[in-house]
A = this chain, B = another copy of it.
Amino acid sequence: MERRDFIKKTSAGLALATGSAISPISILKNEKKIRLGLIGVGARGMGHMGLLLKRKDVVITAICDVDQNRITEGIAKITEAGYKKPQTFGKDDYDYRNLLQLDEVDAVIIATPWVWHTPMSVDAMNAGKATACEVAGAFSVKECWDVVETYERTRTPYFVMENVAYRRDVMAVLNMVRKNMFGEIVHLQGGYEHDLRAVKFNNGKQLYGGGVEFGEKAYSEAKWRTQHSVNRNGDLYPTHGLGPVSNMINNNRGNRLVSISSMSSKPAGLNNYINNHPQGGASHKNSSVEFLLGDVVNSMIKCSNGESILITHDTSLPRPYSLGFRVQGTKGIWMDLNQSIHIEGKSNAHEWESQAKYFEEHDHPLWKKYENDSAGAGHGGMDFFVLHAFIEALKKGEAMPMDVYDMASWSVVTPLSEQSIAQGGAPVYFPDFTSGRWISRKPIFAFDDRY
C-alpha cells in the first residue's frame, strides 16, 4: 500500500468525530515509534530534545540547525541518551527542506527564529510531515492565511506549541470555567510581561546578559530577536497571554476574535538599559539605536460573543515576570498577579481568597495524571504537556487540540496590532481564518486526562 493511500484510509470518519469540517489526515505508519525531525536545536529546540529523549514513543531521527555547534551538541545529547546518531542538516538556510524529504521522519518540531515559522510550516505540511511549530507573532495577515491554506489543502496535522495553555493554574481555571464557577465569562486578560533586556542583549558569548550587543555581535536570541524591537511597534509576542484565555471562551469554536485596538507607550527602556550598562554607556555604538517598539503595548480585543480581552506586551523594562491573567464572569474573578480568586457565594463579599485551595480542588485531570512525568520539564512542567499533546494526538490520529486556526488567530495579533498602532489606535478587523466553520466547530481542548 502506498503511503498516501494509507493516509487517506486511516483518516476516514475523523471529520465527523471532531466537529471540524477540515480534519487532519493521520500520518501514523506501522512504526513502533513516531520518528521526529527537529528543525532548530538552539536553546528552545534543545529543551524539547531533552524531554523527547525521555519518551518511549518517539525517536529523533534528524536534526537541523544552521549553527554547526548546535548540531554537534544535538548529536552528543542524542547519542549519550543511547540513541542512534541522527541525520543532520543545516549547510544553508534551506537545508531543512532536505530533512523534510526523509522517509525516516514522520513529524517535525519547528523551533527557529520567528521569520522561519511560516515557510518551514508550509514546507513541512506540503511534505506530509506532521508539524508542531513554536509560537510567535506573524509578520503579515497573508502569512497566517498561507499556513491555513496549506493545512486545508494537505490536511497534514498541524499543532501550535502554546505551552502556557497547559500551565497548571491555567488548566485549573479552565476546569472552573467549564464548571461554570465564574458564571458567564465577560472579560479576560493575559500578556507577556517579562523583562527580556538580558535576552535582547548579551556579550556575544553567553545566552543572557553580560553586555549590550545584539545582531551579528551577539549570541543566540539576541542575534535575531532584538532587531524586531528596532523595526516594529506592536504586540510582538501575543500567544502566551491570548492563547490560554481564548481557549476558555472557545475561540474558533462557537466564538471568535473580531476586532482589536492597540496602543503603545513610548520606547525608553532599551536605550536606558544600554546607556546604564557597565558594558554600554554613551560611547557604545548601540547607545544611539532608536527602538520603535513601545515599552508597553496594550491591545483590546472584542469577541463575537461579546467578551473583551486585554493583552499586554511588556519586555523592555525592569519588572518581575507575569503573564497577568484575569478571568472574569458574572459569578467570579481570578487574577494571576495577586494569586487570588473571588467567587460569589463562596468568598466573603468584596474579599479575595487565595487561589490555592481552588486550584487543588479543581486541578485538571491531565495534571493529576501526569504530574510526575512533567516534573523537571521546562517552564514549570508545561513543556512536557505541550509535547505530550502533539504526540498523543498524532498517535491516535485525532484532531490537534490547538490547530492551524488557533495559530492564525493568535499570531495575526502582531500585524493587526502594528496596523492599529500605526493608525493611532484604530480598530482593526480579524480575518475569519475558518471561513465560517467557527460557527459549528466544537471545543476539543483538554476535555479528559489523555492529552
A: residues with CB less than 8 A from B are: 183-184, 186-187, 195, 259, 261, 263-266, 268-269, 272, 294-296, 298, 300, 302, 305-308, 310, 314, 317-321, 328-333, 335, 337-340, 342-344, 349-352, 424-427
Contact = CB atoms under 8 A, between A and B. Distances in A.
5 contacts: A263-B308, A269-B330, A302-B425, A317-B330, A335-B337
B338 A328 contact: no
A339 B340 CA distance: 13
Protomer copies: 2
B300 A425 contact: yes
A425 B261 contact: yes
Contacts of A331: 272, 318
Given A320-B352, A328-B319, A350-B320, A263 B187 contact: no
B342 A320 contact: yes
Nearest to A307: B265
Contact of A187 (B295, B300, B344): B295
Contact of A269 (B186, B295, B314, B320): B186
Given A261-B300, A425-B259, A328 B317 contact: yes
B296 A265 contact: no
Contact of A427 (B187, B337, B339, B425): B425
A265 B184 CA distance: 12
Given A186-B296, A308-B263, A424-B427, A272 B330 contact: yes
Given A264-B308, A318-B331, A424-B259, A300 B302 contact: no
A350 B352 CA distance: 25
A400 B27 CA distance: 74
A302 B294 CA distance: 12
Contact of A330 (B268, B302, B329): B268
A295 B331 CA distance: 12
Given A186-B295, A318-B349, A320-B340, 5 more contacts: A263-B308, A295-B330, A302-B425, A337-B338, A338-B339
Nearest to A264: B308
Given A302-B425, A308-B298, A337-B335, A265 B186 contact: yes
A344 B330 contact: no
Nearest to A321: B350
Nearest to A427: B425
Given A259-B425, A318-B331, A298 B295 contact: no
Contact of A306 (B265, B320, B352): B265
A317 B328 CA distance: 8
Contacts of A320: 340, 342, 350-352
Given A296-B186, A307-B265, A342 B318 contact: yes
B307 A319 contact: no
B317 A298 contact: no
